[in-house]
Amino acid sequence: MKKGFRTLDLTLVGMFAALMAVGANITSWAPFLEVAGVPLSMQPFFCILAGLLLGSRLGALSMFVYALVGIAGAPVFAQFSGGIGVIFGSTGGFIISYIATAYVVGKLVELKKQPNLVTFFTASFVGIALIYLIGTTYMWLALNVWLGTPMSYSAAWIVMAWFMVKDVIFTVAGATIAPRIYSAVQKATGLGRPKAA
Protein backbone atom coordinates (compact mmCIF):
# COMPACT_ATOMS: atom_id res chain seq x y z
CA MET A 1 0.00 0.00 0.00
CA LYS A 2 1.38 3.43 -0.93
CA LYS A 3 2.00 5.82 1.91
CA GLY A 4 1.03 9.46 1.77
CA PHE A 5 3.40 12.38 1.81
CA ARG A 6 4.88 13.51 5.09
CA THR A 7 5.75 17.12 5.84
CA LEU A 8 9.40 16.17 5.53
CA ASP A 9 8.79 14.61 2.10
CA LEU A 10 7.15 17.80 0.84
CA THR A 11 9.97 19.88 2.31
CA LEU A 12 12.55 17.85 0.38
CA VAL A 13 10.46 18.08 -2.79
CA GLY A 14 10.28 21.85 -2.40
CA MET A 15 13.99 22.08 -1.70
CA PHE A 16 14.96 20.27 -4.91
CA ALA A 17 12.43 22.26 -6.93
CA ALA A 18 14.11 25.41 -5.60
CA LEU A 19 17.58 24.02 -6.39
CA MET A 20 16.45 23.48 -9.97
CA ALA A 21 15.45 27.15 -10.21
CA VAL A 22 18.86 28.19 -8.84
CA GLY A 23 20.63 25.73 -11.14
CA ALA A 24 18.87 27.15 -14.19
CA ASN A 25 20.20 30.64 -13.52
CA ILE A 26 23.45 30.08 -11.66
CA THR A 27 25.47 32.13 -14.16
CA SER A 28 23.30 35.14 -13.36
CA TRP A 29 24.84 35.18 -9.88
CA ALA A 30 28.20 33.71 -10.89
CA PRO A 31 29.08 34.88 -14.44
CA PHE A 32 32.53 33.30 -14.17
CA LEU A 33 30.82 29.90 -14.46
CA GLU A 34 30.33 30.50 -18.17
CA VAL A 35 32.97 28.74 -20.27
CA ALA A 36 33.48 29.56 -23.96
CA GLY A 37 30.05 31.14 -24.01
CA VAL A 38 28.40 28.00 -22.58
CA PRO A 39 26.53 28.65 -19.30
CA LEU A 40 27.22 25.96 -16.70
CA SER A 41 23.63 25.12 -15.80
CA MET A 42 23.38 22.89 -12.76
CA GLN A 43 19.93 21.52 -13.60
CA PRO A 44 20.98 18.04 -14.80
CA PHE A 45 23.14 17.74 -11.67
CA PHE A 46 20.29 18.60 -9.30
CA CYS A 47 17.78 16.51 -11.25
CA ILE A 48 19.92 13.38 -11.03
CA LEU A 49 20.76 14.09 -7.39
CA ALA A 50 17.03 14.33 -6.63
CA GLY A 51 16.49 10.85 -8.06
CA LEU A 52 19.52 9.42 -6.26
CA LEU A 53 18.66 10.86 -2.84
CA LEU A 54 14.85 11.07 -2.79
CA GLY A 55 13.97 8.00 -4.84
CA SER A 56 11.69 7.66 -7.84
CA ARG A 57 8.47 8.99 -6.32
CA LEU A 58 9.73 12.11 -4.52
CA GLY A 59 12.46 12.78 -7.07
CA ALA A 60 9.99 12.84 -9.96
CA LEU A 61 7.52 14.88 -7.89
CA SER A 62 10.16 17.54 -7.17
CA MET A 63 10.85 17.89 -10.90
CA PHE A 64 7.12 17.99 -11.66
CA VAL A 65 6.64 20.75 -9.08
CA TYR A 66 9.53 22.71 -10.60
CA ALA A 67 8.04 22.39 -14.10
CA LEU A 68 4.54 23.28 -12.88
CA VAL A 69 5.73 26.39 -11.05
CA GLY A 70 7.54 27.54 -14.20
CA ILE A 71 4.59 26.80 -16.47
CA ALA A 72 2.38 28.81 -14.09
CA GLY A 73 4.57 31.82 -14.87
CA ALA A 74 7.15 31.99 -12.09
CA PRO A 75 10.59 32.98 -13.49
CA VAL A 76 12.31 29.71 -12.57
CA PHE A 77 13.43 28.55 -16.02
CA ALA A 78 16.69 29.60 -17.68
CA GLN A 79 17.24 33.36 -18.04
CA PHE A 80 14.54 33.87 -15.39
CA SER A 81 11.82 32.93 -17.86
CA GLY A 82 8.49 31.27 -17.15
CA GLY A 83 5.21 30.33 -18.77
CA ILE A 84 3.88 27.54 -20.97
CA GLY A 85 5.66 29.01 -24.00
CA VAL A 86 9.03 27.84 -22.66
CA ILE A 87 7.86 24.22 -22.86
CA PHE A 88 7.13 24.67 -26.55
CA GLY A 89 10.51 26.29 -27.15
CA SER A 90 13.61 24.46 -28.29
CA THR A 91 14.73 23.65 -24.72
CA GLY A 92 11.31 22.58 -23.44
CA GLY A 93 12.18 18.92 -23.84
CA PHE A 94 14.88 19.19 -21.22
CA ILE A 95 12.38 20.44 -18.65
CA ILE A 96 10.12 17.49 -19.50
CA SER A 97 13.07 15.10 -19.37
CA TYR A 98 13.87 16.00 -15.77
CA ILE A 99 10.67 14.37 -14.50
CA ALA A 100 11.32 11.08 -16.30
CA THR A 101 15.01 11.15 -15.41
CA ALA A 102 14.52 11.64 -11.68
CA TYR A 103 12.02 8.77 -11.69
CA VAL A 104 14.28 6.35 -13.60
CA VAL A 105 17.38 7.27 -11.58
CA GLY A 106 15.47 6.77 -8.35
CA LYS A 107 14.13 3.40 -9.51
CA LEU A 108 17.62 2.17 -10.38
CA VAL A 109 18.82 3.01 -6.87
CA GLU A 110 15.73 1.44 -5.31
CA LEU A 111 16.38 -1.85 -7.11
CA LYS A 112 19.43 -2.39 -4.90
CA LYS A 113 18.89 -3.24 -1.25
CA GLN A 114 22.22 -1.63 -0.43
CA PRO A 115 23.20 0.71 -3.27
CA ASN A 116 26.94 1.17 -3.69
CA LEU A 117 29.19 3.47 -5.72
CA VAL A 118 28.64 1.40 -8.89
CA THR A 119 24.87 1.73 -8.43
CA PHE A 120 25.09 5.50 -8.12
CA PHE A 121 27.40 5.82 -11.14
CA THR A 122 25.20 3.57 -13.27
CA ALA A 123 22.01 5.40 -12.30
CA SER A 124 23.66 8.80 -12.85
CA PHE A 125 24.91 8.01 -16.33
CA VAL A 126 21.60 6.45 -17.36
CA GLY A 127 20.07 9.69 -16.11
CA ILE A 128 22.32 12.03 -18.09
CA ALA A 129 21.84 9.89 -21.21
CA LEU A 130 18.06 10.10 -20.79
CA ILE A 131 18.14 13.88 -20.32
CA TYR A 132 20.08 14.34 -23.56
CA LEU A 133 18.11 11.76 -25.53
CA ILE A 134 14.75 13.34 -24.66
CA GLY A 135 15.96 16.94 -24.65
CA THR A 136 17.93 16.86 -27.89
CA THR A 137 15.29 14.89 -29.78
CA TYR A 138 12.61 17.34 -28.61
CA MET A 139 14.82 20.28 -29.63
CA TRP A 140 15.24 18.81 -33.12
CA LEU A 141 11.48 18.24 -33.44
CA ALA A 142 10.66 21.72 -32.17
CA LEU A 143 13.07 23.41 -34.58
CA ASN A 144 11.90 21.41 -37.56
CA VAL A 145 8.17 21.03 -36.93
CA TRP A 146 6.79 24.16 -35.24
CA LEU A 147 9.59 26.71 -34.85
CA GLY A 148 10.45 26.82 -38.54
CA THR A 149 14.23 26.59 -38.09
CA PRO A 150 15.27 23.38 -39.90
CA MET A 151 18.23 21.52 -38.44
CA SER A 152 19.49 17.99 -39.02
CA TYR A 153 19.38 15.53 -36.13
CA SER A 154 23.17 15.17 -36.20
CA ALA A 155 23.61 18.96 -36.10
CA ALA A 156 21.36 19.11 -33.02
CA TRP A 157 23.65 16.64 -31.25
CA ILE A 158 26.74 18.60 -32.29
CA VAL A 159 25.24 21.74 -30.75
CA MET A 160 24.49 19.90 -27.50
CA ALA A 161 28.00 18.36 -27.34
CA TRP A 162 29.30 21.59 -25.77
CA PHE A 163 26.87 21.22 -22.90
CA MET A 164 27.36 17.47 -22.64
CA VAL A 165 31.02 17.77 -21.67
CA LYS A 166 30.31 19.87 -18.57
CA ASP A 167 27.28 17.75 -17.65
CA VAL A 168 29.34 14.55 -17.75
CA ILE A 169 31.84 16.19 -15.37
CA PHE A 170 29.01 17.23 -13.03
CA THR A 171 27.52 13.73 -13.30
CA VAL A 172 30.79 12.14 -12.17
CA ALA A 173 31.00 14.60 -9.27
CA GLY A 174 27.40 13.93 -8.23
CA ALA A 175 27.75 10.14 -8.39
CA THR A 176 30.92 10.36 -6.32
CA ILE A 177 29.41 12.36 -3.46
CA ALA A 178 25.93 10.79 -3.59
CA PRO A 179 26.60 7.61 -1.53
CA ARG A 180 27.67 9.57 1.54
CA ILE A 181 24.82 12.07 1.26
CA TYR A 182 22.36 9.23 0.60
CA SER A 183 23.39 7.46 3.83
CA ALA A 184 23.11 10.70 5.81
CA VAL A 185 19.67 11.48 4.37
CA GLN A 186 18.42 7.96 5.09
CA LYS A 187 19.59 8.11 8.71
CA ALA A 188 18.39 11.65 9.37
CA THR A 189 15.00 11.40 7.70
CA GLY A 190 14.06 7.74 7.65
CA LEU A 191 13.34 8.24 3.95
CA GLY A 192 12.88 4.59 3.12
CA ARG A 193 12.82 2.91 -0.26
CA PRO A 194 9.75 0.87 -1.26
CA LYS A 195 9.85 -2.57 0.26
CA ALA A 196 9.20 -5.71 -1.73
CA ALA A 197 5.67 -7.02 -1.39
Which phi and psi angles does 185 have, rounded to 5°? -65, -40
Task: Identify which of 46, 171, 161, 52 has the alpha carbon closest to the alpha carbon of residue 98.
Answer: 46
* Surface-to-core class of residue 43, CB atoms within 10 Å of its CB (0-12 exposed, 13-18 middle, 19+ buried): buried
Query: CA-CA distance, 73 to 71, in Å (whole number)?
Result: 5
Give which of 168, 165, 169, 139 is closest to 154, Cα–Cα.
139
- Angstrom distance (rounded) from CA 173 to CA 180: 12
The pLDDT of residue 103: 98
Q: What is the pLDDT of residue 34?
A: 61
pLDDT band at residue 37 using 50, 70 and 90 as cut-offs: low
Alpha carbons 106 and 56: distance in angstroms, whole number: 4
Q: How does pLDDT run across 139-184, given as a tens digit for each residue?
A: 999 999 999 999 999 999 999 998 898 899 999 999 999 999 999 8
* Phi, then psi, of 196 in degrees rounded to 5: -65, 145
Percent of the chain whose pLDDT exceeds 90: 76
DSSP string, 85-125: HHHTSTTHHHHHHHHHHHHHHHHHHHTSSS--HHHHHHHHH
Cα–Cα distance measured from residue 72 to residue 97, given in angstroms and rounded to the nearest whole number:
18
Cα separation, 123 vs 140, in Å, equals 26
User: pTM for this structure?
Assistant: 0.91
Residues 6+ apart with CB under 8 A from 129: none
Q: What is the dihedral of CA 89, 56, 174, 87, to 10 degrees?
A: 10
What the chain holds in terms of domains, given with CATH numbers, is 8-26+41-189 (1.10.1760.20)
Mean pLDDT of 24-32: 77
